Amino acid sequence: MNAIKHPIKRSFVFFLVPDFTMIAFATALDPLRSANRMLGYEAYRWRLASIDGKPVRASNGVECAVNTSLEEERKKMAGPDRPNMAIVCSGIDVERYQNKSAFAWLREEYNRGVAVGGLCTGAHILAAAGLLSNKRCAIHWENLPGFSEAFPKANVFADLFEVDQNIYTCAGGTAALDMMLKLIGDDFDESLVNRVCEQVLTDRVRSPTDRQRLPLRARLGVQNSKVLTIIELMEGNLSEPLSLIEIADHVDLSRRQIERLFRTEMGRSPARYYLEIRLDRARHLLIQSSMPVVEVAVACGFVSASHFSKCYRELYARSPQQERVDRKQLLAA
């Protein structure tokens, strides 16, 4: 009797970018292996690619061998080895990655009907390739401010993952596992997803809209609901800061009550706390984008670059310009 021939569900190319995040890559790849094992046949195939076919070093220092180069991938586009999905694996310092050949390859794959995806900061590369205009996408929370400023036409969300037609993006870390489990569920059924979950010791598939970061209550160690509401208002209004009177109206408290609550719960005034979170966002923009300092100042609610520089220096003991110089020196080392 002839053995039953099972069709391949999907074939993947994982494109590794220097300093890619290993945890996102591993938690995207291993569910496919586990699914094959549970099914008893090879429903999923994959190969790894780099620009030149040479090994790529992850951000944790581990060097990963690959199977193909982009030149070889281009040759496969018109043949039986064309993938169903091409996934960009990137990580830290993605803003520095400028490779027209990679961008062109991603556009070619997408235009031929191949799904494209990005893990961790991969959305940045998809956007740079021109694939995310008017598309929903997800990116790691740490990179979200810089991404929003660099690619205003992309509809970016602080979600675990996003699927918009033929484009898949996730925030990295273990969110890659959730995205791939959804994909496996779409291809098969919930029973297989549950078996894979048991294999990798996770108890559920998180919703795409689950939080990337810990809730404020856990992150800050604050229990007062009024203070948490005020902080959420502040974080949602960084480019055009609310006045204390406007905040007081939102939470139905007096200015004096808010001042007292912040002194007790946060150890500083609400104005000081608001300033610190605006400066924190500014620091992310300085590190992750090439925005002029004056534009960073405006994006974080400062009326002048001089006032911004003064506040920045007081908090971080260096100017915004020096922050960038230090960052470039660190990357060059």
In DSSP terms, 37 is beta-bridged to none
Contact (CB, 8 A) for 56 and 86: no
Find the mean pLDDT for residues 82-94: 94
In angstroms, the CA 285 to CA 320 distance is 10
Spell out the domains of the chain, with CATH numbers in brackets: 10-200 (3.40.50.880), 216-331 (1.10.10.60)
pLDDT at 213: 72
Residue 173 near residue 23, CB atoms below 8 Å: yes
> 45 by DSSP, 3-state: which?
strand
pLDDT band at 201 (very low <50, low <70, confident <90, very high): confident
200 and 181 Cβ atoms separated by less than 8 Å: no
The pLDDT mean for the chain works out to 91
**Among 151-155, 219-223, 238-242, 311-315, which is the least confidently predicted range?**
219-223
Q: What is the mean pLDDT of residues 107-132?
A: 96
111-120, 141-150, 235-244: the lowest-pLDDT one: 141-150
pLDDT for the residue numbered 96: 86
> In this structure, how many other beta carbons lie within 10 angstroms of the beta carbon of residue 121?
32
Distance between CA atoms of residues 313 and 56, nearest Å = 38
- Reported as a pLDDT band with limits 50, 70 and 90, residue 1 is very low
- CA 208 from chain centre, in angstroms, equals 13
Q: Which amino acid is at 59?
A: S
Could you tell me whether strands 85-89 and 10-16 are parallel, antiparallel, or unpaired per DSSP bridges? parallel
Helices (H), the chain: 22-39, 70-76, 100-111, 122-128, 144-150, 175-187, 190-199, 216-220, 225-235, 244-251, 255-265, 270-288, 293-299, 305-316, 320-332
Q: Residue 198: its pLDDT value, please?
A: 92
Alpha-carbon span 285 to 180, nearest angstrom: 30
Contact indicator for 299, 149 with CB cutoff of 8 Å: yes
Summarised one tens digit per residue, pLDDT across range 245-272 is 999 999 999 999 999 999 999 999 999 9
DSSP letter at 9 equals: -
308-326: per-residue pLDDT in tens? Answer: 999 999 999 999 999 988 8
Count of residues making up the chain: 333
Consecutive H or E run containing 119: strand 115-119
Q: What is the mean pLDDT of residues 151-159?
A: 91
**Look-up of token digits 């590794």:** 16
- pTM for the whole thing? 0.78
Q: How far is CA 176 from CA 122, 196, 225, in A?
A: 11, 14, 32
The amino acid sitting at 70 is L
